[in-house]
């Protein structure tokens, strides 16, 4: 089975910074990791390959530094890697991102039987990209899958939602977005990392290689633009009171009176 896995390099959550002028995530010089759900998608692909044979191709659209993410995937066991990188891709919204990924996936030879994406990312977190790639390539899609069994030219899938588990049969070729199931991302061994970072070549495609026009990619090819970014107001203001039991009771009574909760209680009583 030919499996392609879309992986995105995301900023390590504590180090996310925003460029307030351009309303974009600052990715340069920031500690990055593979999006955790994409690691699970890769494990799913490697697990399927061990049962069904074939090869696993990892693919990413991002700045040059995303090559590191691809090399980590190679170290984990992927067979080949494709980096889609071009200054023209910068500022892409989810539509422009999906267009570039779909175009690249359609150029892979052999064509993938199965495309896997994470169900969402930890930075932009829209969950749009997988379904949009499927639409672009006119493929059947199932989102939020946590278990896969191959049966000839189809897959039997499980996905959970609202306490219910659906069992779905899908005919290949298809696209799935992967949710956390029983598989964990593996710890990479130094030896395999060393091999992946020194040896295997990575295929690089830019806008020209994909035959896309400037107006179809990046900021120019985006249908949406971020207008404003703000932090949501905090929902709860927790206060920790310390001191002797007497002080705690006094403080608590004072607070309740301040909030007029005690007055109402006394009035009702
Ligand atoms: C309106 C808007 C404007 C934006 N403008 C900018 C901008 O100017 N600059 C900027 O840096 N970002 C921008 N972004 C963020 C950028 O669009 C997203 O990083 C990108 O489209 C992926 O979306 P996501 O992270 O929500 O992916 P999701 O849809 O949550 O991801 C689902 C899965 O799709 C796959 N996937 C997603 N992205 C990639 C990728 N790049 N390569 C390979 N696989 C991938 C992965 O498998 C992932 O798990 C913008 C987003 C929006 C909504």
How far is it, in rounded angstroms, from Cα 96 to Cα 101?
9
Per-residue pLDDT reduced to its tens digit, 176-195: 999 988 777 777 777 777 77
**What is the average pLDDT across 241-260?**
85
β-bridge mates for residue 176, sequence order: 116, 142
Judge whether residue 59 has pLDDT over 70.
yes
Q: Which of 122, 133, 96 is nearest to 6 (CA)?
A: 133
Per-residue pLDDT reduced to its tens digit, 203-217: 999 999 999 999 999
pLDDT band at 269 (very low <50, low <70, confident <90, very high): very low
User: Torsion angle of alpha carbons 163, 164, 169, 175, nearest 10°?
Assistant: -30
Pocket flag, ligand 1, residue 92 (CB < 6 Å): yes
| Residue nearest to ligand 1 atom 49, measured at CA | 118
Pocket flag, ligand 1, residue 115 (CB < 6 Å): no
> Whole-prediction pTM value?
0.84
- pLDDT computed for residue 132 by the predictor: 98
> What is the distance in A from the centroid of ligand 1 to the CA of 68?
18
- pLDDT computed for residue 260 by the predictor: 72
Pocket flag, ligand 1, residue 131 (CB < 6 Å): no
| Residue nearest to ligand 1 atom 39, measured at CA | 8
């Amino acid at each position: 089975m030919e499996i392609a896995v879309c992986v995105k390099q995301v900023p390590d959550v504590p180090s996310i910074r925003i460029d307030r002028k351009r309303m974009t995530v600052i990715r340069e010089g920031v500690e990055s990791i593979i999006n955790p759900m994409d690691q699970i998608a890769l494990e799913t692909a490697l697990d399927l390959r061990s049962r069904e044979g074939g090869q696993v191709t990892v693919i990413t659209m991002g700045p040059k530094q995303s090559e590191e993410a691809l090399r980590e995937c190679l170290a984990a066991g992927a067979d080949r890697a494709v980096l889609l990188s071009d200054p023209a891709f910068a500022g892409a919204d989810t539509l422009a991102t999906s267009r570039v990924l779909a175009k690249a996936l359609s150029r892979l030879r052999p064509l993938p039987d199965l495309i896997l994406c994470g169900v969402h990312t930890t930075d932009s977190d829209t969950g749009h990209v997988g379904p949009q790639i499927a639409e672009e390539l006119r493929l059947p899609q199932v989102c939020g899958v946590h278990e896969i069994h191959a049966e000839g030219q189809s897959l039997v899938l499980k996905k959970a939602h609202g306490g219910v588990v659906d069992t779905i049969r899908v005919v290949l070729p298809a696209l799935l977005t992967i949710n956390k199931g029983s598989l964990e991302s593996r710890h990479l061994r130094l030896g395999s990392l060393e091999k992946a970072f020194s040896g295997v070549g990575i295929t690089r495609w830019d806008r020209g290689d994909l035959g896309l026009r400037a107006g179809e990619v990046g900021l120019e090819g985006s249908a949406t633009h971020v207008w404003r970014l703000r932090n949501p107001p905090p929902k709860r203001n927790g206060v920790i009171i310390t001191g002797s039991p007497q002080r705690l009771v006094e403080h608590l009574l004072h607070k309740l009176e301040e909030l007029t909760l005690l007055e109402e209680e006394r009035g009702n009583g």
